Amino acid sequence: MTQRFDPITTEEWGDDEYAAFGTLLGLPGDQVPRAGSGEKYDPLNFPVMGMLAHHPDLAKAFLRFNNYQLFRGTLPDRLRELAILRTAHQRRSPFEWGEHVRIGTAAGITAEEIDAIALGNDAFEGTDLLVLQATDELLTEHRMTTAWEPLLEALGKHQAIELIFVVGAYATLAMAFDTWGLPPAPDALPLPAPRPPTPEGN
């Protein structure tokens, strides 16, 4: 993948940009580590933030929403990350896949399950399967039809609604990352090959 857009430079990080990053971290902008500080949350450690910071007002609005999804939503971390990994794979986003393999592993998704996500749904059952089927339907049909009622019954209305917005948000991010050519981290798990054709419903 060719990178077509670069993160803002150290000198371009200012009050608005730090405030945008702080929205994701849950910190006021003046408490965000300074660019080049070498601290854990140094913005230079997060190229995606350097990309989003080109438009700090939009970044702040989007990251407030993203902060809710990651830290305050009712959808369990495991289910959220299954949906994001399927979205990253189907949308062919190397950066998103690599980042969420790491986050998904921390949420309890095994290496075997991560491999299986790229192959279809045969290795999953129960609520995991319902979430992956719903994600597939959203990505292909841009709506849920057959998946909605089972998902609603299994998760309840808040979590079922959140799943729609998780898939939509990360499909949007995949479009942005891949337009910009944002490369995955050097140690990221490579994006697997496209999913082979599977029978309808799998």
pLDDT of 197 reads: 65
Domains (range + CATH), the chain: 10-70 (no CATH), 75-180 (1.20.1290.10)
Contact 48, 177 (CB under 8 A): yes
pLDDT of 201 reads: 46
Rounded to an integer, what distance in angstroms lies between the CA atom of residue 128 and that of residue 201? 14
202 residues of the chain, pLDDT tens digit each? 688 899 999 999 999 999 999 999 999 999 999 999 999 999 999 999 999 999 999 999 999 999 999 999 999 999 999 999 999 999 999 999 999 999 999 999 999 999 999 999 999 999 999 999 999 999 999 999 999 999 999 999 999 999 999 999 999 999 999 999 999 989 999 999 997 665 554 5
CA distances 103 to 36, 55, 70, 85, 122, Å, are 24, 26, 10, 10, 23
Within 8 A by CB and 6+ apart from 75, the residues are 69, 155, 159, 162, 163, 166
Contact 89, 96 (CB under 8 A): no
Rounded to an integer, what distance in angstroms lies between the CA atom of residue 96 and that of residue 174? 7
Residue with tokens 């319902």: 130
